[in-house]
Amino acid sequence: MLRSAKWALVILSFFIFIASACSKDDAQQPQKKSKEHQTAEKIIAPLTGIETKVASLERAVAVTVNNHPDARPQTGLSQADIVYEMLAEGNVTRFLAIFQSEKPENTGPVRSARDYFIDLAKGYDALYVAHGHSPDAQQLLESGTVDHLNGIQHDGTLFQRVDFRQAPHNSYITFENIEKGAGDAGYQLDTAPAPLQFLDEQMAEDLEGEAASSIKVSYSPDPSYVAEYQYSSQDEKYSRSSAGSKTVEYGNEKPVLLDNIIVIEAPHTVKDSEGRRDIDLEAGGRALVFQRGIIQEAEWKNEGGRLLPYQNGEPMEWVAGKTWINIVPDLTNVSFE
């Protein structure tokens, strides 16, 4: 009997050990699943609303890009999350390209700063990149208003001149050099901008408004500064053209494709003999929003440096994707059909 009792105790101990091991494994399993879930967690780009798997610079980078006919086609515009187009002097427009979800290997031609480009870059807490500056912009940059890299100080080092274009249309900068310049200056690059508000796909499909698949924004009687957009219902994207040529990437002809076209009417004043402008980005006013081949009338407000469209006192949500914002002196410069 004693021997039988001992064997019973041994068998009982064995089963207790097995149960304990299984319980330990089960306790660890949720941790494993949690770790796998974190690894597979979606990363949504704050300025496009699109899932991204590309390891990108967390902080936004805003670059003044040349739009003179001799600077076209440009490099990097197809990878910008948001592009502002504004008059720089006379009838000549320039772009402020804001990158966050993607970073092109190279971008340019880079052109000189304006005070309103600096204000817009600040709205996204972006590192601002330009080559040269107006007198007003110089004061802002030298006062430390915004973290910046400028070709005036870094021509031939961070900024490189290409041999297939003539100055001042030949200054380019790589993202590798942007990161290097930021590091050398002690600028932090690890904080993403606050996200914009985006429609979900069903809401985007259900948008209502007047059909407008062709849009023309005229900055000048010169066709070189007339921007045209064409909506493709098949691709659900807008393409952009100027002077009869599509806006594409230099070298590989990749087109700029857009999901939101926003046109903002803001007061413009010529302020010097060079034809430079004061553009009032605080006034608010009328705006037109083009999404999924339709147009909606709106009002715009400056919210912390961001120019955002509103309807009935509420901020409008954007279609997930890339956005082009045209700032014009008068909405009569815009036509559509």
Please give the mean pLDDT across all residues of the chain: 89
Q: Which residue reads 């309807």 in tokens?
A: 311
Q: Is the pLDDT of residue 1 over 50?
A: no
Q: List the beta bridge partners of residue 289.
A: 262, 296
What pLDDT score was predicted for residue 23? 45
Q: What is the sign of the dihedral through the CA atoms of 81, 194, 298 and 93? A: negative
The per-residue pLDDT for range 201-235, each reduced to its tens digit, is 999 999 999 999 999 999 999 999 999 999 999 99
Q: What is the mean pLDDT of residues 247-251?
A: 97
Q: What is the mean pLDDT of residues 184-200?
A: 96
Q: What is the mean pLDDT of residues 145-152?
A: 97
Q: Count CB neighbours of 215 within 10 A.
A: 22
Q: In 3-state terms, what secondary structure has residue 162?
A: coil
CA-based diameter of the chain, in Å?
Answer: 114
Higher-confidence residue of 119 and 22: namely: 119
Would you say 161 and 170 are in contact if contact means Cβ atoms under 8 Å apart?
A: yes
Amino acid of residue 165: R
Phi then psi dihedrals of residue 230, to 5 deg: -130, 125
Q: Count CB neighbours of 213 within 10 A.
A: 17
The per-residue pLDDT for range 26-69, each reduced to its tens digit, is 444 444 443 333 345 678 999 999 987 765 669 999 999 999 99
For 284-317, b/e burial (b = at least 16 CB within 10 A) is beebbbbbbbebbebbbbbeebbbbbeeeeeebb
What pLDDT score was predicted for residue 29? 47
CA distances from 314 to 124, 193, 281, 301, 309 (A): 21, 21, 19, 11, 9
Q: In 3-state terms, what secondary structure has residue 145?
A: coil
Q: What is the mean pLDDT of residues 22-29?
A: 46
What pLDDT score was predicted for residue 52? 79
Please state the CATH superfamily assignment of the domain spanning residues 61-185 in this structure. Answer: YerB-like (3.50.90.10)
Higher-confidence residue of 258 and 275: namely: 258
Would you say 306 and 325 are in contact if contact means Cβ atoms under 8 Å apart?
A: no
| Res. 24 pLDDT band, cuts 50 70 90 | very low
The per-residue pLDDT for range 124-138, each reduced to its tens digit, is 999 999 999 999 999
Distance of CA 322 to the CA centre of its chain: 7
Q: What is the mean pLDDT of residues 174-199?
A: 96
CA–CA gap between residue 91 and residue 132 (Å, rounded): 19
pTM of the model: 0.87
What pLDDT score was predicted for residue 26? 47
Q: What is the mean pLDDT of residues 300-308?
A: 97
- Asked if domains 61-185 and 201-336 share a fold, the reply is yes
Write a three-state SS string for 78-118.
HHCCEEEEEEEECCEEEEEEEECCCCCCEEECECCECHHHH
What pLDDT score was predicted for residue 55? 59
Burial of 82 (0-12, 13-18, 19+ CB in 10 A): buried
Higher-confidence residue of 324 and 90: namely: 324
Would you kindly state where each structural domain of the chain is located, as residue ranges?
61-185, 201-336
Q: Is the pLDDT of residue 13 over 50?
A: no
Q: What is the mean pLDDT of residues 14-26?
A: 44
What pLDDT score was predicted for residue 42? 79
| Res. 162 pLDDT band, cuts 50 70 90 | very high
Q: Is the pLDDT of residue 314 over 80?
A: yes
Q: Count CB neighbours of 261 within 10 A.
A: 24
Q: Count CB neighbours of 235 within 10 A.
A: 9
What pLDDT score was predicted for residue 54? 63
Return the closest-CA partner of residue 242 out of 82, 118, 67, 120.
Answer: 67
What pLDDT score was predicted for residue 274? 83
Residues 6 or more apart whose CB falls under 8 angstroms from that of 84 comprise 95, 96, 98, 117, 120, 325, 326, 327
What pLDDT score was predicted for residue 275? 86
CATH number of 201-336: 3.50.90.10
| Res. 8 pLDDT band, cuts 50 70 90 | very low
Q: Which residue reads 């200056």 in tokens?
A: 185
Tell me which of 2-11, 102-111, 259-268 is least confident.
2-11
